[in-house]
Structure 1
Amino acid sequence: MEETRKDRIQLLVRRICLIITDILLVNGCVFLSLLMRFEISISAIPEEYLLKYQKNMIPFTIVAIIIFWCFRMYHSLWQYASIAELYKIVEACIVTEFAHICVTAYMGWMLPRSCYFTSGVFLIVAMSASRFMYRMIRTVLQNYRHTAEQVRIMIIGAGEATNVLMREIQNSRYMDNSKVVCIIDDDTQKVGKYIRGVKVVGTRNKIKEVAKVYDIDEIIFAIPSASMEDKRNILNICKETDCNLKILPGVYQMVDGEINVNSIRSVDVLDLLGRDPIEVDLDSIMGYVKDKTILVTGGGGSIGSELCRQLVSHKPKCLIIFDIYENNAYEIQQELKMTYPDANVVTLIGSIRNISRLESVFAQYRPEIVYHAAAHKHVPLMEDSPNEAVKNNVVGTWNVAKMADKYGVGKFVMISTDKAVNPTNVMGATKRICEMIIQSYNERSQTDFVAVRFGNVLGSNGSVIPLFKKQIEAGGPVTVTDPNIIRYFMTIPEAVSLVLQAGAYAKGGEIFILDMGEPVKIDDLAKNLIRLSGYTLGVDMEIKYTGLRPGEKLYEELLMKEEGLQDTANKLIHIGKPIEFDKEHFFEHLEELKEEAYAETGDIRTLIQKVAPTYHPKEN
């Protein structure tokens, strides 16, 4: 409250100062026009004109101030003045001079006709100078500020975004110590030209050289319309300069006119993955969830919670969040209540291992669509606790599938993983068994059972980038298992939107495989994140190679050789041809696996391999 009162007082003082200045300028310009008319000599001005000038001062001043007020000359923030404000000044001065003629004619105090024209010109110049003086002084002081105090900026891109951004940097009081010293653009016709007094010094090939010559502290990527590939290539050059990297997020800000210093964000490792974000027109295909009762198992997890966010926006009759972890379930419940207060969201705590609990949920709510996202997924932990992986992943999925079949669910979509392909670890093997359960139930049930298989999800619980960030915050070292290890990556919203679209395509029995783009070296991710965090690899931060963990592969596959691929309408979603297997013996082995898991058998891997023949455990 005190701050607001202080701001109001400062605003009032500024307006009073401007009004006093304008009173002096209005009358001074009229007097100067009289001097110009009579050979710049006061003694040469006839006494009758001096008398008319004196009589005219008060009414003309009042009229002028009223006109300036109407044109909002006392309401603009003149430190941000631009061409638009200049037009307003010209318009206000022309109207004021026209009023001057009317007032003097009405009162009978007419001055020489040439005085009205010259006083109008003087007034435009004087008003413009008074309004732009603050900005001019600010710019001069900024340009001549001591070099040691300045953050020297290079901007990538010589388009409209850069023009707007430079104006913002020059005018922002939060960037008083920042100065744009050079611009880079790949358009050779722009090289050598100037934007707001700053030279376009070269193309991307000059970035490293120019950064040294101009002693650059910060690089801002300001090409909102650039493709992800171009952005990655340019940022990969920039990160070798050891400058602080920042970026304007997207082209939509150009359309909305939102580009300002607050739009700039630090470059994230996602900017370096090198592919355009996957966009799915869910509105056109999500009719299958509207007015339906939907159950999401593991609804509080990374994938499950995003499923709930995207599902609830398409107006299901009822969304059931089912999770054993009450904190996760509570968080997504509260988020959805705030975002969609009218949505019918039911949050239930329970385990998919408990078939009695599942029975009560299915009997009471009768879900029409099930998204099964509940699972243990951490590879090293499941290597140490294989029985728990079987209980949760295999038995849990079996339980949910039984209930879906019994209660006539329309669609059952299970979240799988690329680690289920030729698995070398327990987690991957259990997920492969889950796929086989889905395939088996589809042949014996009216429910359409499908699985969706994809790779690593950025930002999910336990994923590699949050781990790297924590290690960097702790001072390092950053641990990478092997310098040659590669993985497929996708963001959580991308993966979930494709899962939902796969659900629309589901006819039963399919294993949908998401196109993850090109694989990425984990070592490169670690190096990029170190540089983006402001550290120099080998000087401030080290990478430690720890060796592959039990069950870990250098690369993951999305498809087994026997499966083959079939395209869908969305080229980013493919269908793997199911591999045939003996269903009768499969369920016999599955029952045995369940019993051994709950009996806490010491080494259950041999039995897992019996159920899933493609599982080939690696030696620790």
Structure 2
Amino acid sequence: MLVQLLALPRNLKRVVAATVDVLGIMLALWFAVSVDARVFYLPRNWNDVAFAFVLSVASVFLFYKLGLYRSVTRYIGSKAFRAVVFGMLASSSALVLFSALMDARVNLNVVVIYSLSAFIFIAASRFGARSVFRQVQSRPKDNVIIYGAGEAGRQLAHALIHGREYHAVAFVDDDETLQGAMIQNLSVFPVSKIGELTHKLDVKRILLAFPSASRSTRRNALEMLSHLPVTVQTIPGMADIIAGDAKIDELREVNIEDLLGRDAVAPQMDLLTQNVRGKAVMVTGAGGSIGSELCRQVAAQKPKALILYEWSEPSLYYIHEELTQTYPDVAIFPFVGSVQDEINLKSVMNSHRIDTIYHAAAYKHVPMVEMNIIQAARNNVLGTLYTAQAAIDAGVEKFVLVSTDKAVRPTNVMGATKRLAELILQGLAKTTHKTAFCMVRFGNVLGSSGSVVPKFREQIKKGGPITLTHKDITRYFMIIPEAAQLVIQAGAMGDQGDVFVLDMGEPIKIYDLAKQMIRLSGLTVKDEQNPHGDIEIKITGLRPGEKLYEELIIGNTDRLTPHPRIRRASEHSLAWTEVESLLNDVIACCAEMDGQRLRDILKDAPLDYTPDSRCVDLHYPVQITKKIKHSLSQPQQPQ
């Protein structure tokens, strides 16, 4: 309760103090009347209550004019004491004046007793509150080191002086010109001393204060700090601080994405705007992780119209609300619809005369897709087919498929269906029409639904264990805004059937990521070497269709493009007649709900698909039962 009072805005604290004074003065008056009459007095009618209330409000007004409410309670002193004395003299005079005007017959004894009791109450409330506030503030604070002695670090140190949780004991900084200096009465040490300082000064928390640093600088700092037994927090980004959206001392959890991402490359604006500015742009899967970011990037480049196409009505609502508020001048049209609905797709594309399509709609979670093979094929394969055919019919200029690294030598249904979607577009690219098809292939994006980072963070908050399928599993990672920008830029370079792959940087070992997240939370890993640690990392085994590592290119050759992080792959494709024959088999399997046969078709197709030996499709047992019943119903051949 006291902490909440301390956190109230200054003006609200004044209102609280004035309210307490009003009640105190009313009680002091009734107390004075009771003592004078030698009986316990209670107001007998509303006139008595009104008299006391008017007196108390008038007294508070006099206190305000005398400056009593300008004093900060925790620093109250002799000046405030004098204000209380003069205030009570004025209040007593008001009592005499009001009693004469209202014929209240208040005698001198009542005035004296009222003055003394009200004075004691007002003074005691002020000095008592000061004592309590100081006691709250004098509670032990956690020692912290501020990493970064620049302007942000200095502002943070100043803010912590008046805070109630942390006590800054030192700065550390890489800048040799600052090392050895005294800033805010704190010494600046080299970063190399941070381990020694942590132990010597009993530091349990390190605060990062370099909001404008590059991603690589933050990553290097976090990798070093992850080996120390401390919790790491950071100040908000400089943009939020400048905009007034955050205060310098509003400490936040470390953005674990800084451990994984790279320094962003500025987009090439000619590529970013080529298929967007002044165009009618459609994004399928507009409510998903990648789809919604594509919408944001497109809207920022002033398209003629932005068409959001999404099956999930809640997801569509949220992205539409966000975009209409952020980009009120952009014409945005939200359509609820499935990419399996050919009629709806054609209607939308023709009515809005779409120029560019970014096809991000897909089922992408490997375990879910393995259990729902038929629906995955309908959405990822047939949905791509129907969307592409509708684009051809509507005369769309550019069609960009958002693909995945799991399409390269796939071991799961999700990857196999995405590879077949690529072959569909490559096959259509060999036919005669206006639409240019291309596809962009990349790995995992940070912060997407199902991403390991939020999953691990939640498991750490619950006390563990962190669950991981294999100790040696690795993945490529990229931040969502960078991925979306690169998709748009790659699409601008795409010609008929081009496959682009994004430079994802170095693969990340997920086991090492889990350990770093545990340590940066100020906790320890529980394992054989440390059986009394805080968080265990539990290995559960690879799931059906899951790879230890991912690839981005099927062949061994790829070519440079004008963009340093986009490469053009040289890969084998099929003629449209071959693709069409394969699609007829897929459509037949979907009609019969035969997931096992569909897996076999995908395996035999030129996809390099190596399925897991375990078929976990939820319809598979039903198909087995149907086949057994069919076999039993056949007439037996004579022996």
Instruction: Give the gaps of 5 or more residues in structure 2.
Output: 1-7, 19-69, 75-133, 527-532, 615-639
Q: Which moved more, 1:492-501 or 1:575-584?
A: 575-584
Q: Percent identity?
A: 41
Q: For each residue in 1:429-487, what CA deviation from the matched residue of structure 2 results, as whole angstroms up to 9, or x when unmatched? A: 11011111111111213211010111001111122222223323333211111111110
Separation in structure 1 between the aligned mates of residue 356 and residue 276 of structure 2, nearest angstrom: 8
Look up the match of 2:249.
262
Instruction: Give the 3-state SS of the residue equivalent to 2:564 in structure 1.
Output: coil
- Following the alignment from structure 2 to structure 1, what is the Cα–Cα distance between the partners of residues 12 and 317? 42
Aligned position for 1:614: 608
Root mean square deviation, CA, Å: 3.3
The correspondence of residues 472-483 of structure 1 with structure 2, limited to 5 A, is 472-483=460-471
Counterpart among 132, 137, 153 of residue 162 in structure 1? 153
Q: Does 1:366 align with 2:353?
A: yes
Change (3 A) 1:187 1:339: closer
Cα 1:344–1:259 shift into 2, 3 Å: closer
Does residue 594 in structure 1 map to residue 587 in structure 2?
Answer: yes
Q: Which runs of 5+ in 1 are unaligned?
A: 12-74, 80-140
Check 1:515–1:284 CA distance in 2 against 1; reply closer, same or farther (3 A cut).
Answer: closer
- Residue 582 of structure 1 deviates from its aligned partner by 4.1
User: Is residue 160–residue 249 contact of structure 2 (8 Å, CA) maintained in 1?
Assistant: no
1:2 & 1:606 partners in 2: Cα distance? 67
Per the alignment, do residues 619 and 367 of structure 1 end up closer, same or farther by CA in structure 2, a change over 3 Å counting?
Answer: same
Q: Deviations over 1:306-356 (max 9, x none)?
A: 111221222222221111111111111122222223332111112111222
Q: Please give the secondary structure, in 2, of the residue aligned with 1:542.
A: strand
Matches of 2:241 and 2:10, distance apart in 1: 33
Task: Determine the structure 2 residue equivalent to 1:484.
Answer: 472
2:548 corresponds to 1:554: yes
Match of residue 231 from structure 1: 218
Partner of 1:104: none
Q: CA offsets, 1:186-220, max 9 Å, x none? A: 345544332222122x4333222210110012211
- TM-score scaled by structure 2? 0.71
CA deviations 1:230-270 (Å, max 9, x no partner) are: 32222222233232212245566898899953354321211
Aligned counterparts of 1:5 and 1:153: Cα–Cα separation in 2: 31
Pick aligned residue for 2:447 from 453, 459, 468? 459
CA distance 1:561–1:578, shift in 2 (3 Å):
closer
Supply the AA of the counterpart residue of 2:142.
V
2:55 aligns with none
TM-score by length of 1: 0.73
What letter matches 2:562 in structure 1?
A
SS at structure 1 position matched to 2:440: strand
- Give how far 1:393 is off: 0.5
Offset at residue 519 of structure 1 (A): 1.1
CA pair 258-209 structure 1, distance change in 2 beyond 3 A:
farther
Q: Are residue 186 (structure 1) and residue 177 (structure 2) matched? A: no
Deviations 1:362-416 (CA, angstroms, capped at 9, x unpaired): 3322311111111111111211222221111011101111111111100001100
1:164 maps to amino acid:
Q
C-alpha deviation, 1:592, in angstroms: 1.2
Q: 1: distance between equivalents of 2:213 and 2:279?
A: 40
Aligned to 1:280, the other structure's residue is in SS state coil
Residue by residue over 1:116-154, the C-alpha shift from the partner in whole angstroms, topping out at 9 and shown as x without a partner, is: xxxxxxxxxxxxxxxxxxxxxxxxx99xx86x7022111
Contact 2:276–2:302, Cα closer than 8 Å, also in 1:
yes
Map 1:435-584 → 2, pairs under 5 A:
435-444=422-431, 445-538=433-526, 539-562=533-556, 564-584=557-577
1:480/1:546 contact within 8 Å kept: yes
Q: How many pairs align?
A: 493
Contact map agreement 1:208 1:237 (CA 8 A) in 2: no
What secondary structure, in the 3-state scheme, does the structure 1 residue paired with 2:399 have? Answer: strand
Q: State how 1:63-78 maps to structure 2 within 5 Å.
A: none
CA shift, 1:548, in A, is: 1.0
> Could you tell me whether the CA contact under 8 Å between 1:169 and 1:261 is conserved in 2?
no
Deviates more, 1:416-425 or 1:474-483: 474-483
Say whether 1:291 aligns with 2:278: yes
SS of 2:249 mapped into structure 1: helix
